[in-house]
Structure 1
Amino acid sequence: MKKYIVIAAALLLSACASRPAQPPLALTLTPVLAQQATSQLAVQLSSKDERNHNYIAIIDSGATNVEEFQPEGNIASTFQAALTKQFASEGITVNTASTSNIAINIQQALVKVTQGLVKHDIDSQLQIELVVTTPKGTFSKKYSARSTKQEPFKVTREEIAQSLEKMMNSVLKEIAKDGELHQYLTENV
């Protein structure tokens, strides 16, 4: 009987020690909107999260204290929605009947936070691949962003979300300025 009481107490203590799940992080992306449309193209747009985990951020406070943060929505869909608006402003419309497709592959999107007693380090990484498939061929390009910073005190949820948002917005700007991508679309779609 003593053995069962000890086991029950151990289970109860371990249940009390576990952290509650963190609320999901909301991401707000800002597409780069062109002043006027430069082309009249129609493409299909698809997205896929190729990462092997669902979380977008982790906080490591030492020992075995690691917190994971999920996105509020599907991260690939969030990026696709922003890119759809960006493309629309350039005159590239999304049409499911188009013979050309742009696939957005999220290969890496993670904010790692190492939390110390009086400071925290943030290391953020993002890698997105666009694969354009047309009847005339295929074009593939990877876009990456990385940032590191050290701040005093405890990290906030807002800092974590802002770190990933800044990288995703940076990739949106890079796509907007990518002459090679736009030339391929203009000549092959």
Structure 2
Amino acid sequence: MKKLLVAASVLALTACSTPSEPQLSISPEPVIASQPLVQGKSMNLDSRDLRTAQFIAVVDSGRENVQPLHSNENLRTTLEDALSRQLTAQGYTIAKDSQGTLRLDILEAMVNVKHSVVSHDLSSKLQLQLVVETPKGKFVKRYSGKSARNGAMSASVQDMEQAMNNLITAVLKDIYADPELNAYIQENL
């Protein structure tokens, strides 16, 4: 019985010391306006992650060897924080007691990597939906982006991080520069 207990303890300690799966660090760069575009507009900011799978990357090394990779941070809170900083720089005030609400829905965020012996193909997809609800009505719009690249050898975690961060930053720029969204918020808040 003692031998079994010692063996189980050694096995448990060995399992704790094995390296964990790599994780991606997602840190997009929101657009920071040099001059506020609006004054006195206040909104509540909310977000939802509607993806069916919570991992952010899938690495396919062939022979049915597929490895999902997660983000170090919660993607929903990371994107909500980036959008909040962007809106604040535009002059909006984010407050829980506002009459208007801007909701960010994450519909898709994925980096797919296919490895072969000497190269890799990396493709990224992102789809976000913004829902603006005010006492005067509702505005819904989707923003999406795709990117693809290939390279020699296998893709690193940094390659995957860069692909997703660049894609999120590009979509945040689209949100910032969207005249339809900005006009709706300014007219209806």
TM-score clears 0.5:
yes
Pairwise CA distance, 1:20: 6.2
Residues of 2 paired with 1:35 and 1:78: CA distance?
22
* Contact 2:60 2:115 (C-alpha < 8 Å) held by counterparts: yes
Q: Give matches, 1:71-110, under 5 Å.
A: 71-110=71-110
Pairwise CA distance, 1:21: 4.4
Q: Give matches, 1:165-180, under 5 Å.
A: 165-180=165-180
Deviation by residue 1:1-39 (Cα, 9 ceiling, x = unmatched): xxxxxxxxxxxxxxxxxx964132111111101111111
Residues of 1 paired with 2:79 and 2:149: CA distance?
24
**Percentage of pairs with the same residue:** 35
Aligned to 2:9: none
- Is residue 152 of structure 2 the alignment partner of residue 136 of structure 1? no
Residues of 1 paired with 2:66 and 2:30: CA distance?
32
- Is residue 29 of structure 2 the alignment partner of residue 30 of structure 1? yes
Deviation by residue 1:110-129 (Cα, 9 ceiling, x = unmatched): 00000000000011100000
Aligned length: 172
The one-letter code matched in structure 1 to 2:117 is L
Deviation by residue 1:131-186 (Cα, 9 ceiling, x = unmatched): 00000000000000001111111110000011110110001100110111000000
Gaps of 5+ in 2: 1-17
After the TM superposition, which segments of 4 or more aligned residues of structure 1 sit over 2 Å from their partners? none
Residues of 1 paired with 2:144 and 2:27: CA distance?
19
- The two structures, once aligned, show a CA RMSD in angstroms of 1.4
The one-letter code matched in structure 1 to 2:148 is T
- Is residue 156 of structure 2 the alignment partner of residue 153 of structure 1? no
